[in-house]
Amino acid sequence: MVELGHYALLLTLPFLLYAGGAAFVGARAGRPKLVRSAEHALYAVFMLFTLAMIGLETALLSNRFDLAYVAQTSSREQPFWYKIPALWGGQSGSLLLWAWMLSAFSALALFQNRNRNRGLMPWVVLVLSANIGFFAVLLAFVTSPFEPTPVAHVFSNGQGMNPLLQHPVMLIHPPILYTGFVGFAIPFAFAFAALASGALGTDWFRTTRRWTITAWFFLGCGIMLGGRWAYEVLGWGGYWAWDPVENASLMPFLVGTAYLHSVIIQEKRGMLRIWNLALIGLAYSLCLFGTFLTRSGIVQSVHSFTQSGWFGYVFLGYVIVMAGVFFGLLLWRAPMLRSQTRLDSMLSREASFLLNNYVFLGLCSIVFFGTLYPVFSEALTGQRIQIGPPFFQRYAGPLAIALLFLTGVGPLIAWRRATWVNLRKSFLWPVVFSAVVAAVTVILGVDQFYPVAFAGLCAFVAATVAEEYARGIRARMRRGENPVRAFIELVRRNQQRYGGYVVHLSVILIFIGFAGSAFDLEETRLLSPGERWELNGHTLEYRQALPIEEPSYAGAVARIALYRDGQPVGILKPEKRIYFQQDQPATIPAISSSLNEDLYVILVGLEPDQRAALKVYLNPLVNWIWIGGLIFVIGNALILWPLSEKSAN
């Protein structure tokens, strides 16, 4: 099966070459049968990549250490459930996962459009074939997952997967994140097809609406899971460090969010046609650029693939060519895309959505500049200067406040032009509620600007969402429906709108969690066995440290009794490990969670006399971030679940 997978991977190349060529000739010569043949070739590519995936996973499960990739990412001691994610635990395996997902999504998109959008499909096939083809060439000739291990380096065991990746979240985090990255290829391909064919109406974005929302949803979930992994595994007490690889996923998410808002304006008013095409092109380009950052070694990251040399330049060239061709087409078609509809007033929903877009792109620009600043500084001065979290927090903070405000304004303000009477009626009690919450926050002793501003604006957004739901339910109740029925019908008939409001609620909860970080507390102390440590109502009693001896690692675990307000809570067991095969240390924190805060304990080190160096973080409100992530899932489920044939905005 392993050899079959290898040959299947090589066989994708002629099929992709045929698919792209046949689609192009079919489009230019008006030959529908040739286009159908090109689509069938892409179906075959999906089947071939599936065989390659099965072949590589078979090699991992059967300990084929004669393959370099298996020797690098697996070992005999590695549990079965971690041999599965080993498939994407290295460079070539993760690229194979990307290519397989892209071929699967391409096949599904072609099947969905087998009887519609026939004028767009040749160009869709061409773009998807080119994208899949690039990864197929890399996998066949540059970084093959089936490359044999040099004879002198074949051993009876492998190196094993990076211990930091041996965590339950890693079973799902990369596939979920890749679903977001790769999913944007479908709306990108349809947007490209619209530009190439001249079919510049609304078909391309109506056809890909669910694709875009789904990709954006999975990208958001991937970011959230990555934060949870960092919080539990890296042992530094946080969930987000503005690491380049973290930023690589955040940038397309921000642009995708801007697109989902602005495309509503095109659908309602016929405006922003150029803008929306540019946003979807930028979103996918940033997905590719993020993949380049992860694999080129151009930036330093705690969890990136490092690959030096010409590989990075080839990948960057691919990103530039793909983006350049798309935006070149956009400039060519720009005169045909100009809308006759103009913005009627700055006091309108269109204006608030447009300002919302500017804020998202402003945030993306800050993240992009901060991520690549070390590269820019090295190119200009010869010295690599790193930018830390204070830079991002300083410049992103004001934009985050503006974003929260606009999140509340959008649902309440009218289309075209709002009157001052309507504004006063719609915003009166949300503004009052916001002011009350901000005042209460100050009375409770919070005197920092950002936490107070976040509290007030979160209350403002929550009030606007509640008002929108109440207004819709009251309107349906006047038709004779009971409150429960009115709520169900409201959501069923307006999935995108009211599901979006639930997503807004998730944003509120996440921002509450962010605001709590302003009060994080960090302390370190050396304790003897039996000694107690009082910290903000918590008592930690260090009992003892015990050795750990496992087949793949050794270390120590500290046993710490935790009391809260004098009452016993439980035993915390932070660990310090060293993995033999990788010669890599790892810190496993112990976390005691509540709705108000997390007590996060790290075993820094042990002295010969059994004294333990402990570091403790108190992280207020951090669990509101994970709760917000759950609400984010619920909101998107409401948007995407097929409750009705058609939903209004």
Q: Which of 30-44, 290-304, 546-560 has the lowest mean pLDDT?
A: 290-304
- The pLDDT assigned to 308 comes to 52
Domain endpoint, select from 161, 180, 206: 161
pLDDT band at 300 (very low <50, low <70, confident <90, very high): low
Task: Identify which of 211, 204, 294, 309 has the alpha carbon closest to the alpha carbon of residue 251.
Answer: 294
CA distances from 419 to 355, 413, 461 (A): 19, 9, 21
330 domain-assigned: no
172 part of a folded domain? no
Task: Evaluate if residue 647 carries a pLDDT over 60.
Answer: no
Residues 23 and 65 in one domain: yes
Per-residue pLDDT reduced to its tens digit, 98-122? 999 999 999 999 999 999 999 999 9
Which is nearest to 275 in space by CA: 337, 224, 359?
337
Nearest CA among 496, 475, 500 for reference residue 486: 475
Residues 432 and 488 in one domain: yes
Single out the residue in 107, 127, 161 at which a domain terminates: 161
Q: Are residues 24 and 88 in the same domain?
A: yes
Question: Domain check: are 569 and 442 in the same one?
Answer: no
**618 and 636 both lie in a single domain:** no
Q: Looking at residues 18-41, what average pLDDT do you find?
A: 94
The pLDDT value recorded for residue 350 is 84
Task: Kindly state the average pLDDT of the residues 284-304.
Answer: 76
In the predicted structure, residue 307 carries a pLDDT above the cut 60 = no
3-state DSSP call for residue 315? Answer: helix
**628 contacts 509 by C-beta, under 8 angstroms:** yes
Q: How many residues does the chain have?
A: 649
Report the alpha-carbon distance of residue 433 to residue 463 in Å, rounded. 7
Q: Check whether residue 10 and residue 153 sit in a common domain.
A: yes
What secondary structure does DSSP assign to 103-164, as a single string? HHHHHHHHHHTTTS-TTTHHHHHHHHHHHHHHHHHIIIIIS-TTPBPPGGG--SS---S-GG
Is residue 643 predicted with pLDDT exceeding 90? Answer: no
Residue 228 located in a structural domain: no
Q: Quick: pLDDT tens for 325-349.
A: 999 999 999 999 887 777 777 778 8
Distance between first and last Cα of the chain: 50
- Domain match, 602 and 636 both: no
The single-letter code of the amino acid at 186 is I
Measured distance CA(465)–CA(62) in Å, rounded: 54
573 and 492 in a common domain: no
Q: Please indicate, yes or no, if residue 342 is contained in any of the structural domains.
A: no
Question: What is the per-residue DSSP string for 17-47?
Answer: HHHHHHHHHHHHHT-HHHHHHHHHHHHHHHH
- Is-contact 330 274, C-beta < 8 A? yes
pLDDT tens-digit readout, 222-237:
999 999 999 998 888 8
Name the pairing type of β-strands 590-593 and 584-588: unpaired
Report the pLDDT value the prediction gives residue 302, as an integer from 0 to 100.
Answer: 53
| 646 — pLDDT class (breaks 50, 70, 90) | very low
Helices (H), 389-527: 389-412, 420-443, 449-477, 483-493, 495-516
Domain-located, residue 280:
no
Tell me: do 618 and 631 sit in the same domain.
no
Residues 6 or more apart in contact with residue 47 via CB below 8 angstroms: none
Token digits of residue 621: 């409100």
DSSP character at residue 339: -
| Count of CA atoms in the C-beta half-sphere (13 A) of 643 | 19
CA separation for the pair 45, 629 (Å, rounded): 35
Judged against a pLDDT cut of 50, whether residue 473 lies above it is answered with yes
Q: Which two tokens stand for residue 259?
A: 């697109």
Return d(Cα 14, Cα 299) in angstroms, integer. Answer: 35
Comparing 420 with 127, the larger pLDDT belongs to 127
Q: Are 97 and 41 in contact (CB under 8 A)?
A: no
From 105, 126, 161, give the residue that closes a domain. Answer: 161
Percent of the chain whose pLDDT exceeds 90? 57
pLDDT digits (tens, 9 = 90+) for 267-282: 888 888 999 999 999 9
Contacts (Cβ under 8 Å, ≥6 apart) of 245: 290, 293, 294, 301, 302, 303, 304
Looking at the structure, do residues 38 and 90 belong to the same domain, yes or no?
yes
Task: Please report the sign of the dihedral spanned by the C-alpha atoms of residue 328, residue 329, residue 333, residue 339.
Answer: negative
Residue 604 belongs to a domain: yes
The rounded distance, in Å, linking the Cα atoms of 122 and 38 is 8
Q: What residues are paired with 613 via a beta bridge?
A: 526, 605
140 occurs within a structural domain: yes
Q: Tell me which residue range forms the domain holding 104.
A: 1-161
- The verdict on residue 617 lying in a domain is yes
Distance CA 31, CA 138 (A): 32
Query: What is the residue-averaged pLDDT of the chain?
Result: 89
Rg (C-alpha) for the chain, rounded Å, is 27
pLDDT confidence band for 415 (50 / 70 / 90): confident
- In the chain, how many domains are there? 3
**CATH number for position 584:** 2.60.98
Question: 290 pLDDT band (50/70/90 cuts)?
Answer: confident
The CATH number that applies at residue 7 is 1.20.120
pLDDT band at 497; cut points 50, 70, 90: confident
The long-range contacts involving 449-453, CB below 8 angstroms and separated by at least 24 positions, are 450/397, 450/401, 450/515, 450/518, 451/515, 451/516, 451/518, 451/519, 453/401
616 shares its domain with 630 = no
Contact 212, 260 (CB under 8 A): yes
Is residue 430 domain-shared with residue 567, that is, in the same domain?
no
Confidence of residue 645 (pLDDT cuts 50, 70, 90): very low
1 neighbors 88 (Cβ within 8 angstroms) = no
